A and B are shown apart, each in its own frame.
Chain A
Amino acid sequence: MEDTQYIVISNLQLGLAALLLLVNIGLSIALKLGLAKDLIIASIRMAVQLVLVGLILEWVFEMREPWFILLMAFFMAGLAGYSAVDRTSRRYPGIFWNSLVTIGTSAFLVTGLAITGILRVDPWFDPQYMIPLLGMVLGNALTGISLGLDRMMEGCVQNRNWIETMLSHGATRWEAAHEHIREALRTGMIPTVNAMMIMGIVSLPGMMTGQILAGAAPMDAVRYQMVIMFMIAACTALATLGVVLFAYNRLFSRDHRLMNHLIRQK
């Protein structure tokens, strides 16, 4: 790490950057906006969390043990699966399990394919690639899952009368649920599709900016960004589809009944 192409940030420089926030805190106090406390807490949380992650990553990077990296990957996937459901406003029994299975399967599948088939990382478990790629894919799939689940459950609760009217007139569970499945998928995919639409126009994506700062040629950074966006889109679509189908299977019984009584407000 001696021949870095970027400027290493010292503690003093870090402190100077933190000072920028003082202006905002001062303004908030002067105008009685009530934001000062939140800003201070958020800043401290961010700093502590990032330092911890940094320490863990340095440790993992030094170990380079495949089983340990896989363990970390499973831990990340588990946390993402849990957080996805933690954000939803409604629940049904088995929802955490559904989320874990779909996010784990889709993220490992997509990241695995990218690492071994596209980027051809050697060794495959090289944490320099595995951890950040998996992290980005999980972070986005998490949003897709939580939006998709929320929309699906909302659809069942808000449209109970209409769904049951269809069922009582001979609709199968698929015919009655189809519109809500489609809406849930669309809702889950919107952030990813929107991000791709405006990428590079409104802002430079974080990963690309990071690579450029670290000395990568802009076109190389662009290529990485494209690969990661394709991965994110594929994984989010897969995870959202998976979890929405799981929810469908739970909320519409095999004998074509709407199981709304399973849905509980958080």
Chain B
Amino acid sequence: MFIAKNLEKKIEDRSLWNGLEITIQGGDRIALRGPSGSGKTLLMRTLSALDEPVQGDIEFEGKPLSEWHLPEYRRRVRYVPQDASFVSGTVRKSIELFFSFRANRSLKLDEQRLQDYMNLLQLEPSFLNKTAENLSGGEKQLSALLRSLLLEPQILLLDEPTSNLDEEKVERVEKLIDDWMNSRSSHSFIWTSHDSRQLDRMTRQTIQL
């Protein structure tokens, strides 16, 4: 389904990844491990086509990246950055905004699913009316995750998705991702975390940088 071959990136004369190969099949739960500075975030950005590698090929659903209309590709291969970003306005508005993009027009905001996700994360309905300025770091992270899941990606690229959350919420997010994985066999994810026990719990395969 997803194949990346011979990936390499250069940062100021330093070469990263050394011809890395990644294959992702439906149902894969992949940990991305590596010391600080090994380019984990850069790799996530590269896989979501926000950055270009200096060399290497990415192929998704049998088509090379160059043949994809990137918004369509990114709709399916979704990068959720560590620092969730919001514009002014409510959480609901920011979710709805993303459904207005041309690449997402075929999708419809599923209110029932939103409710289910929020229940799972133990978020009050009033959470959707909170404005961006009033969200804590953790709440931003939860909203970003909600937003990404509702847009029905196939592959999630999760960059430290629970770094701003307390223990209880971390557990909830893990449960949410478990449920999402079980809801469809084509779903898969790559997850980075500084918490290696979390990676042990959540993942089955490893990419080591």
Contacts and interface: CB of A to CB of B under 8 A. Distances in A.
Contact of B86 (A162, A172, A257, A258): A162
A21 B84 CA distance: 57
Contacts of B87: 162
Contacts of A170: 71-72, 74-75, 98, 101-104, 151
Nearest to B147: A169
A161 B71 CA distance: 17
Contacts of A162: 85-87
A231 to B, nearest CB: 37
Nearest to B82: A161
Interface in A23-48: none
A255 interface: yes
Interface stretch (B30-38, B45-53, B185-193): B45-53
Interface in B70-89: 70-72, 74-75, 78-81, 83-87
Contacts of A159: 85
Nearest to A162: B85
A92 B120 CA distance: 46
Interface string B135-165: 0000000001001100100000000000000
A90 interface: no
A213 B119 CA distance: 76
A167 B50 contact: yes
A257 B104 contact: no
Contacts of B83: 161
Please tell me the size bucket of the interface on B: 20 to 34
A130 interface: no
Contacts of B79: 168
Interface string A222-264: 0000000000000000000000000000000001111000000
Nearest to A163: B85
A256 B71 contact: yes
7 contacts: A162-B86, A165-B85, A169-B101, A170-B74, A170-B102, A171-B98, A257-B52
A165 B144 CA distance: 9
Contacts of B49: 255, 257
Contacts of B151: 169-170
A159 B85 CA distance: 9
Listed from nearest, the 4 A-B pairs whose CB atoms lie closest are: A170-B103, A161-B85, A170-B75, A162-B85
A164 B48 CA distance: 10
A164 to B, nearest CB: 6
B70 A169 contact: no
Contacts of A60: none
Contacts of A164: 50, 81, 85
Nearest to B105: A170
A169 B78 contact: yes
Given A167-B74, A171-B101, 17 more contacts: A162-B86, A162-B87, A165-B144, A168-B48, A169-B78, A169-B104, A170-B71, A170-B74, A170-B101, A171-B71, A171-B103, A172-B71, A175-B101, A256-B71, A257-B49, A257-B52, A257-B70
A76 interface: no
Nearest to A258: B50
A226 B103 CA distance: 46
A159 B132 CA distance: 14
A159 to B, nearest CB: 8
A57 interface: no
B101 A168 contact: no
A29 B158 CA distance: 65
B148 A169 contact: yes
Contacts of B78: 168-169
Nearest to A257: B50
Interface in B84-142: 84-87, 98, 101-104
Given A161-B83, A256-B71, A172 B50 contact: no
